[in-house]
Every structure is written in C-alpha cells, then in structure tokens.
Amino acid sequence: MPLSRRIQSNIGSLTAMAMGAVTLAALAVVQGTHAQTTASNAQATGPEKLSPVPVPGPLARPRSLKQVGLPASQTLAEVPANNAQTPEKIALGEALFFDPRLSVNGTVACASCHNPDRAFTDGRASSVGVYSRVGQRNAPTVLNALYSEAQFWDGRATTLEDQAGFPIFNPSEMGQPNLNAAVTKIAAIPEYQQRFQAVFGQAPSSLNLLRAIAAYERTLVGFDSPFDRFIAGDGNAMDASAKRGWELFNTKAHCNRCHAAVNKDVTYFTDFGFHNIGIGILRHNVTPLAQQAQRLISKDNLPAVDQAAIQSDLSVLGRFLVTRKEADTASFKTPGLRNVLITAPYFHDGSQETLWDAIDHYNKGDGLKNPWLDEDIEPLALTENEIDDLAAFMASLTSAEYKEIGEKELARQRALSRVSRPQRDTARAFGPKPQQPKP
Ligand code: HEC
Ligand code: HEC
C-alpha cells in the first residue's frame, strides 16, 4: 500500500475509538494478575511515580547525518515522499515531542518515557503514564527507530507516523479519549497555530501532528561509537575485550543469528524479525490467554490491540496479537543493540537489569519448556570471561554523545553483576540442549 494511504487508513481506525473502548471493558476481565506481573520485574520497588517531563537539552537536538557508521543513503531513503524533512517541521516535531499538553491532563509527553538523557528510554521496567498508570512493556529507544520495518515490540504499527498516534490515546500513556482531542488542544494554542501554518500551510490536524513528530524522530540517529570507529579502521577504538566480544557475537554465542541484517552486520544489529526467546513466558499460562485474545479482540482493531498490549496480561502474547499465527506466540521484535548500555533494563518487559543478566539468559538457553521457543536458543557454554567480553562489545556500541553516561552506567552494571546474577545457571549453560515440548 502506498504510504499516504497507509497513514490515512490507520487514522481512520484510530478515530474509531468507540469500538476500542468497548473492548477495553472486556479486557478488564483479563487484567487480574497485572500487579503481580509488574512486581516480579527487576525494578519495581513500590508504587510507581510519574517522572517530571524532561526539558529538551543538547541530547534532544536533531543529530548530524555525518556520523561514522551511519548508513547515509538508507537514512535518506527512510524519508517518505509525502513527509519531506524541513528544519521548521523538525523543530515543530521536537516541540510536540516534549509537550505534555498533548496528554489528557497535561502531565505526560512523549519524552516522559523517551528521555534523551537515557537514549530516549525511561530506565523503568514498564513505563508509567497519566495518573501514574503502569503499563506492561518496557519503553524502547526512539534512536534509529526510523530504520525499523515495524514499530513496537510486536510490530503493530508500520511507520513512525502510524506509531505516534497510539500513545496519545492509550489510557495508560497520554490518556486522551482520541487523537482529535489532542489536536483540538494543540490547535487552541496560538504559537502552534502559527507554526503549523508556517510548516504545512494549514491549521493543526491529526495527519500533520503525526507527520511533524515523525519528522523529528527521523533525525534521531545514533552511530559514531567506538565500534564504528574500529570498523572504519581505527584499531585502537575498541579494547581487546570488546574485540573478542565482537568475534564471539558472530561465532560461539551466535547472537548474529538474530541481531544481524546480513551475516556480519555492522549497522543495524537486528534482522528486523520477531522471535520467541523465552522472556516472560514462563510466568504466564499462554494458551488460555491466546483463546481470550481470539474471543475479545479483532486483530484489525488496532487501538484495541494497543490497549491489550499495554494494559492487560494479553501483552505476553507478543506478535500473536497482531498476526494470530500460533508460531508467533510470545514472540517479540529483535531490537537493534546500538546504545543498549544506556537503555537498561532489558527485554520487552524490562525484566533484566544488566547486560550480564541478558547474556546469562542466553547462555543457559532459557525457556526450553516453551513450545514456541526459537530453535536458535540453546545452551551456549560461555565462560565468565566470554560473558565479560560480550558485555564489553555491547558497551562499545555507545554513541559519542553518551560516552560519559555510558561509562557511569557500565560501572553501575559491572558492580551490580558482581553481587547479583539472578539468571546465572552454569550447569545448564554447559549442559546439553534439553528436549522441547511440542506446541
Ligand atoms: C507512558 C510512556 C510512553 C509515552 C508517553 C510514549 N511512549 Fe513511546 N513507547 C512506550 C512503550 C512502553 C513502548 C513499547 C510498547 C510496545 O511495544 O507495545 C513505546 C514504543 C514507541 C516506539 C516504537 C519503538 C520501537 O522500536 O518499536 C516509538 C517510535 C515511540 N514509542 C514513540 C513515541 C512517541 C512519538 C510518543 C508521543 C506521541 C510516545 N512514544 C509516547 C512508552 C511511551
Ligand atoms: C533467536 C533470536 C535471537 C538470538 C540468537 C539472540 N537474540 Fe537478543 N534478542 C532477540 C529478541 C527477539 C529480543 C527481544 C525479546 C523480548 O524482549 O522478549 C532480544 C533482546 C536482546 C537484548 C535486550 C535489548 C533491549 O533493548 O531490551 C539484548 C541485550 C540482547 N538481545 C543481546 C543478545 C546477545 C548478546 C545475544 C547472543 C548471546 C543474543 N541477543 C542472541 C533475539 C535474539
């Protein structure tokens, strides 16, 4: 479908909110264990408080396209023909991204959960939205989201324009009754009236609002890391441990089976695909949840799918909510790993605190009682030194502007990993691959 039609048709479905609201009432039925789920996440330590909205500083600025390692022609190709980049549009999108007036009660902006100081994440296991409502999922970075073939952990939105509408009216994020309510609020502000006129020659509309935000997001590129300088020929840009980690990544640890667009990917660190790698699934009884999803939510009702993903236990079904294919049960998008050091905690549910915990998960091949587990998950027999090397490699994917924050974060994670390794299971890591049950 051409992009413009895709946006239009999605906005049609976004405004059909009556349907979504009915389904949400039905969803309340399946929300029983929500508090329990959140409490078992690594970071939950009591009632969650809403964070103050970040003020845009230097890290919020559109990034240079002249970064070492940046795929220049692909970056330009990601700009859709109907939403050309202009400096004024990008600046308008930035203002909107940081403006809590887009939310129902003026307390939550996009940046509340996508804070530039944390590489556009929020440092929490699950995000907190209006009225301190806690969602089910970890906020991914917006850096390099422009390259993704699908947005969200389950890919329920295609483009950045499609994506940006959902949080505005998700009841646990920005809480507006619908997208038009946000547009009406913005359209009543004289400064925005002028800026939309100047950029689009029109009053604010839902289409232009989403286009401005997406234009800003397309400037949020993150390359120029020690790894990029190493690949560009500076042999000293990475230390020996990180170099060994890069080798392990592509061999014994076979991370590149998923975190690579081509065999030895030096750019994206994702196959842009979806996999069940055994995160979270063991806490849930998936089959009855899948039956509930089939009964309660049409897969074409995207606002209802969005609410299920953010607000109910059906969240664990992952990509299944979008495709309804059994093979997609509890599978999630492979995230790119750039700036991953800054974006802790990890995985779609934020259940792992450090890079060491994430590697321990893979090392033991966790989730083998799960019939939908990806065949590429198996015990890896990585030694402690090799685990350190993989962590050092991932830390080397930190962009220059996050160097200092990254050094502090690496020290924090390393110290924590010395005293806490909840996922470590050396016997399983060095054991055989167990038999997996059939679906
Ligand atoms: C209350 C917290 C919260 C707010 C507010 C919020 N987001 Fe998010 N964002 C999230 C979470 C959580 C996810 C992942 C949800 C999922 O995948 O189901 C996400 C996902 C995304 C993604 C997809 C990234 C990827 O790799 O798939 C983008 C892009 C994004 N948000 C942009 C925005 C924009 C633009 C706004 C404002 C209009 C916004 N977000 C408001 C928490 C938030
Ligand atoms: C079978 C495919 C697959 C393999 C192999 C794989 N990954 Fe992943 N990785 C994923 C998927 C899918 C996710 C998201 C899963 C989720 O959240 O449920 C993920 C998430 C991660 C995350 C969390 C990132 C974030 O933003 O939260 C890290 C770190 C990571 N992987 C590192 C590795 C390393 C290191 C290896 C090799 C030891 C590896 N992965 C092997 C598919 C894979």
pLDDT in tens, 267-284: 999 999 999 999 977 667
What is the predicted pLDDT for the residue at 31? 40
pLDDT of the residue at 83 = 98
Note whether 41 and 149 are same-domain residues: yes
The whole-number pLDDT of residue 23 equals 44
Q: Are residues 266 and 145 in the same domain?
A: no
For residue 39, pLDDT beyond 90? no
pLDDT for 305 beyond 70: yes
Answer yes or no: do 141 and 188 share one domain.
yes
Are 233 and 210 members of one domain? no
Query: Could you tell me if 163 and 66 lie in one domain?
Result: yes
41 confidence band (pLDDT: 50, 70, 90): very low
What pLDDT was estimated at residue 47?
A: 63
419 in the same domain as 356: yes
On whether residue 24 sits in a domain, the answer given is yes
Where does a domain end: 192, 217, 242?
217
User: Is residue 49 included in any domain, yes or no?
Assistant: yes
Shared domain for 263 and 369, answered yes or no, is yes
Output the residue whose Cα is nearest ligand 2's atom 33: 255
* Chosen domain end from 217, 244, 265: 217
Q: What is the mean pLDDT of residues 416-422?
A: 97
Given a cut of 50, whether residue 21 has pLDDT beyond it is no
Q: Does 348 score more than 80 pLDDT?
A: yes
Does one domain contain both 193 and 238? Answer: no
Q: Whose CA is nearest to atom 28 of ligand 1?
A: 142
Minimal-distance CA residue to ligand 2 atom 34 = 255
- Could you tell me if residue 302 is inside a domain? no
298, pLDDT greater than 90: yes
- Per-residue pLDDT tens digits for 234-257: 999 999 999 999 999 999 999 999
CATH number, domain of 386, equals 1.10.760.10
Q: Is residue 361 in a domain?
A: yes
129 Cβ closer than 6 Å to some ligand 1 atom: yes
Mutate-to-test residue for ligand 1 from 124, 132, 142, highest number of ligand atoms within 8 A of CB: 142
Whether 352 and 263 share a structural domain? yes
Is the distance from the beta carbon of residue 155 to the nearest atom of ligand 1 less than 6 Å? no
Buried b (16+ CB within 10 A) or exposed e, 156-193: bbbbbbbbbbbbbbbbbbbbbebbbbbbebbeeeeebe
- pLDDT tens per residue, range 190-218: 999 999 999 999 999 999 999 999 999 99
pLDDT given for residue 370 in this prediction: 86
In the structure, which protein residues have their CB atom closer than 6 angstroms to any atom of ligand 2? 253-255, 257-259, 275, 277, 279, 332, 334-335, 340, 343, 346-348, 355, 358-359, 362, 374, 376-377, 390
Rounded to 5 degrees, φ, ψ at 408 are -65, -45
Percent of the chain with pLDDT over 70: 89
Answer yes or no: is 298 within a domain: no
The pLDDT-based confidence of 30 (bands split at 50, 70, 90) is very low
Last residue of a domain, which of 196, 217, 238? 217
pLDDT at 33 exceeding the cut of 80: no
Tally of domains within the chain: 2
Q: Give the mean pLDDT of the chain.
A: 90
pLDDT reported for residue 437: 80
- What is the C-alpha to C-alpha distance for residues 187 and 115, in angstroms, rounded to an integer? 25
Whole-number pLDDT of residue 101: 98
Please name which ligand lies nearest the alpha carbon of 94: 1
Q: Which domain holds residue 257?
A: 226-279+333-429
Residue 323 in domain: no
Residue 172 shares a structural domain with residue 82? yes
Q: Which ligand is nearest to the CA of 381?
A: 2
